Amino acid sequence: MNSTKHHLVTINGGSSSIKFALYERGNMPRHIFSGSIENIGTDNTTLSYTDIITGEVTTTAIKINGFEEAANYVLDWLEGQPGFDSVQAMGHRLVHGMQHTKAEKISDDLLNELKRIRPYDPDHLPAEIMLIELFANRHPSLVQVACFDTAFHNSMPLVARLLPLPRKYFDMGIQRYGFHGLSYAYLMRELESIAGSIVANGKTILAHLGSGASLAAVKDGKSIDTSMGFTPTSGLVMGTRTGDLDPGVAWYLMQEEKLTPQQFNHLVNHESGLLGIYDKSADMRDIIQNKNTDANAAEAFDLFCYQTKKFIGAYAAALEGLDTLIFSGGIGAHSPEVRNQVCDGLEFIGIEMDEVKNMNNEAIISSATSKVTVRVIKTNEELIMAELVCDVLDEAI
């Protein structure tokens, strides 16, 4: 191992964004800077990054034509930053990992497998594969590591993975996988750090609520169920995704509206969810700001909170009780209004909120008499990725 190479980069490529961060390698990777290109494919594309010296966040409007150009822009920008010359490895968030149970070095065989399963997640995998190949072409000596978002849920029992289709489809890999695993891994580690192993091994519901949203039921530190299934489109209603949808809707729209499979996929992933109901924005902040004067905004807010509450009730049943509820994600960690409405009426499963603590976004927002501890923890997928990259590098020594 080259001792002069002591930095690593994490790359999180989505359908319309690329997030990146630079870390110094160590027992606990040290964060140096992070940034992102957001709104790729629109007229509002921006580059945001944290200044290495001042720590200030700078946001600049940029002109980008498509994801490939954005990927090259990110690499050009990274190559110009102090510390890039000593980057040893790159960690990539892979939304879909099928049966892979842990992070691993990206080989030709793994890359070919990812290409084979692109139809499983057409909104994420093609972009992630493009990023891997771009970095490999321009920096072939860098170790590239796949960090799978599905790995956290490999502990789910068969009953939670089965889809009620003919058995041959399960054998083809059509089953419930679950996502947001990197976030959930971080939240569980943080829970153990701040509350101890007994609490972390209890009955926990994790609510990662953001533009992409899901919940997970965790028992004895392992996922036993989660709201997203075969794709990240399923489960809870999200910013632009439908969440669970009657399959008859697909048949009807294809028959009556003559939608192609590609058009239907775009509809349920990019035109639906909160955006579809509110019809003006997918941003929960806009919805909350306007819900008292706009009926569509109010309905979008109510539906999101109602579905979240339903999943909490369902997972309390699956867990046969509940000890801890954790809110995270952009909405979960920053919206007292959502948390309050979600938890209102859940006293029957032991949840009692402290209104003042909730409005102040405190670490614990449940009351002193609540049987269930309700926490707010900001997630950090990039740090988990950095640690996974270090683990893979250490195994190679």
> Catalytic residue numbers?
149
Structure tokens at 261: 């499979």
Q: 88 pairs with which residues across the strands?
A: none
The rounded Cα 91 to chain-centroid distance in angstroms is 16
Q: Apex CA 52: angle with CA 50 and CA 53, to 5°? A: 120
Q: How far apart are CA 33 and CA 21, in angstroms?
A: 6
Instruction: Name the nearest CA neighbour of 14 among 66, 67, 57.
Output: 67
Name the phi and psi angles at 2, rounded to 5. Answer: -80, 115
Q: Apex CA 270: angle with CA 267 and CA 273, to 5°? A: 85
List, edge to edge, every strand of the sheet that includes 324-328.
222-226, 214-219, 203-208, 324-328, 373-376
The rounded Cα 108 to chain-centroid distance in angstroms is 26
Cβ-contact 223, 178 below 8 angstroms: yes
Q: Apex CA 192: angle with CA 208 and CA 340, to 5°? A: 40
What one-character DSSP code corresponds to residue 29?
Answer: P
